[in-house]
Structure 1
Amino acid sequence: MKLRPFRSDDAIDCWRMFRDTVHRVNARDYSQEQLNAWAPESIDLDHWAQRFDGHVAVVVESDSRIIGFADMSHAGHLDRLFVSADHQRRGVAKLIWRELVEHAVRLECQTVCTEASITAKPFFESVGFVVIARQEVECRGVTLTNYRMEWRRGGLVESV
């Protein structure tokens, strides 16, 4: 596995991996309607890729294929962290998370926050995030459940 910075030409491969992962892995926690809203068959790839701009963004490759990616704002908002459905539970997410922690320390972020899916919540808890709130969010007209979570450097976060 090789971790490296995200490049703009990675966007299409990240999108494909994201869509496949959502439909295969998150299917145990979300309905087909929710999965289709979250990861539809087609999107505005330019808009999706622009969300990486100005973020700390990394990918993990194996055999020249992207098997994981993440992006986090300089203020500590972890927007996306996804691992290929075929590479779950192999340390890819933890590798990415360790890299993001190093960036958070360099950026002097005291907290990192994210909106974690039902499926991703246990991973985030395993690396020290705590649930701040359960949320019902709308995505393309469909309601999905996720969790507002926070990780704090050197301490615990109080949950609501």
Structure 2
Amino acid sequence: MAIFLAAVTETAAADYSPEQIQAWARPEARELSTWHAAMHGRNSYVATVDGEPAGFSDIDPQGYIDMMFVAPRYLRLGVARQLLGHVESKARADHLTALTADVSITARPFFERHGFVVEAKQHPVMVGVQLTYYAMKKNLLGN
């Protein structure tokens, strides 16, 4: 949960307003045991650097990536690339035809560099605050 909160409040702060960051992060509304159970339920993977948690991602049985976050101190070290590679390998092993994700403004360039395309711009509302995400997809057939 600390990685998620740091990624949202620090890394994404360049692309979202303080009100949007607060609505997205909502640290006061998160409980560690609930977070832990949800991570297990989403088939999450944790990347480490020198034994320290550096990032995490997940994939559901349909190929949807719900979360991919890297701790700010480990940005630009290949952590997200390794996580995405692991998730994609899992999807291919499960014979899935595509990966999908709802991606932040901040993460969009990373996903585009790794073969995802924008299918729709979305404006979900969290606790009364409108955000901007992108529904993205990567076709795994023929690749």
| TM-score normalized with structure 2 length | 0.92
- 1:35-74 Cα deviation digits (max 9, x unpaired): 1111123213333333323433211112322111001101
Q: CA deviation at 1:154?
A: 3.3
Q: Report how many aligned residue pairs link the two structures.
A: 142
Q: Give RMSD over aligned pairs.
A: 1.5
Distance 1:66 1:125 in 2: 25
Query: Structure 2 residue aligned with 1:115, among 102, 124, 131?
Result: 102
Q: Secondary structure at the match of 2:91?
A: helix
Q: Secondary structure at the match of 2:2?
A: helix
After TM superposition, the structure 1 = structure 2 runs for residues 141-160 of structure 1, keeping only pairs within 5 Å, are 141-154=128-141
Q: Secondary structure at the match of 1:52?
A: helix
Runs of 4+ in 1 over 6 A off after TM superposition: none
Give the helix-richer structure, 1 or 2. Answer: 2
Provide the identity percentage: 35
Q: Which runs of 5+ in 2 are unaligned?
A: none
| TM-score normalized with structure 1 length | 0.83
Distance 2:8 2:123 in 1: 18
- 1:82-106 Cα deviation digits (max 9, x unpaired): 1111111111111111111110011
Amino acid corresponding to residue 29 of structure 1 in structure 2:
D
Query: Structure 1 residue aligned with 2:70, among 79, 83, 90?
Result: 83
2:113 is equivalent to residue 126 of structure 1? yes
Q: Which runs of 5+ in 1 are unaligned?
A: 1-14
